[in-house]
A and B are shown apart, each in its own frame.
Chain A
Amino acid sequence: QVQLVESGGGVVQPGWSLRLSCAASGFTFTNYGMHWVRQAPGKGLEWVSVISDDGNKKYYADSVKGRFTISRDNSKNTLYLQMNSLRTADTAVYFCAKDVAIYCGGECPPDYWGQGTLVTVSS
């Protein structure tokens, strides 16, 4: 069964950095693109970033472009999100999710999602 477990969340001050991880199991990680999606407290879903199965294609929401970097280590079945210059508006639960199909190049929607990790940016 597919399992996605996020970690790395916490409380940080504005301007600080944080790296999130997502450990994947139960499927062939190297064949699937992966997403990060966030949800601010009491708000809707906001797509953050997606990376293709081979890591060569990466797309970002305008709100995080230039500050966040998505990456993956296929040898460790792990997805990452490096978050720099954090702002209070980045406070949210961050979900990782896998593409619904293989070899989509980032253009397939996510089907299975992790339970999320909370990032709080506050002074």
Chain B
Amino acid sequence: SYVLTQPPSVSVAPGKTARITCGGNNIGSKNVHWYQQKPGQAPVMVVYENSDRPSGIPERFSGSNSGNTATLTISRVEAGDEADYYCQVWDTTSYHWVFGGGTKLTVL
């Protein structure tokens, strides 16, 4: 089955740029979706189809996808961005949805 690999943690200072990666075999050929989850809350979609933002998501959140790596970029990081972030793809071979293991973003 398809596997998505994320770093367990990323740390960034306020006002700087955070980049969270999601690795997968030829992931560039798939659509990647990103979710933010804060403690005790339901996940929130922050990027759809690699780089689109759902309504209400700040422009500071952006995404890219090429080759074997997709990236969620958060610019001008704020304390409120501290959360777990998950990538997700649809595996057309197994007809399964797949999540990455999640990355904990810490704002220093």
Please tell me if A100 contacts chain B, counting CB pairs below 8 Å: yes
**Chain B residues touching A, majority SS:** strand
CB of B96 within 8 A of CB of A47, answer yes
Least CB distance, A120 to chain B, in whole angstroms: 17
Is the beta-carbon distance between A111 and B54 smaller than 8 angstroms?
yes
B42: Cβ under 8 A from any A Cβ: yes
Number of residues in B with C-beta < 8 Å to the partner?
23
Q: Which residues of A contact B100 (CB under 8 A)?
A: 44
What's the least CB distance linking B59 to chain A, in Å? 18
- A100 proximity list for chain B (CB < 8 A): 45, 48, 54
A-B contact count (CB 8 A): 53
Indicate whether A111 sits within 8 Å of B42 (C-beta atoms), given known contacts A45-B102, A47-B98: no
Q: Which B-chain residue is minimally distant from A110 (CB atoms)? A: B45
Do A111 and B102 touch across chains, with their CB atoms under 8 A apart? no
A100 to B88, CA, bound (A): 13
Q: Are A45 and B86 in contact (CB under 8 A)?
A: yes
Contact A44 B42 (CB under 8 A): no
* Bound form: Cα–Cα A37–B43 in Å: 10
* B43 pairs with A113, CB closer than 8 A: yes
Chain B residues in 8 Å Cβ range of A61: 96
Partner of A44, one of B33, B48, B97, B101: B101
Q: Does B1 contact A (CB under 8 A)?
A: yes
Residues of chain B lying within 8 A (CB to CB) of residue A113: 42-44
A:88-123 near B, CB below 8 Å: 95, 100, 106-107, 109-111, 113-116
Question: Closest residue of chain A to B1, judged by CB?
Answer: A62
The answer to whether the Cβ of A73 comes within 8 Å of any Cβ in the partner chain is no
Q: Which residues of A contact B (CB under 8 A)?
A: 35, 37, 44-47, 50, 59, 61-62, 95, 100, 106-107, 109-111, 113-116
Seen from chain B, the residues whose Cβ lies within 8 Å of a Cβ on chain A are 1, 33, 35, 37, 41-45, 48, 54, 84, 86, 88, 90, 95-102
- Pull 18 A–B residue pairs with CB atoms less than 8 Å apart, ordered by A: A37-B99, A44-B84, A44-B99, A44-B100, A45-B35, A45-B37, A45-B43, A45-B99, A59-B95, A100-B45, A106-B95, A109-B45, A109-B48, A109-B90, A113-B43, A113-B44, A114-B42, A115-B41
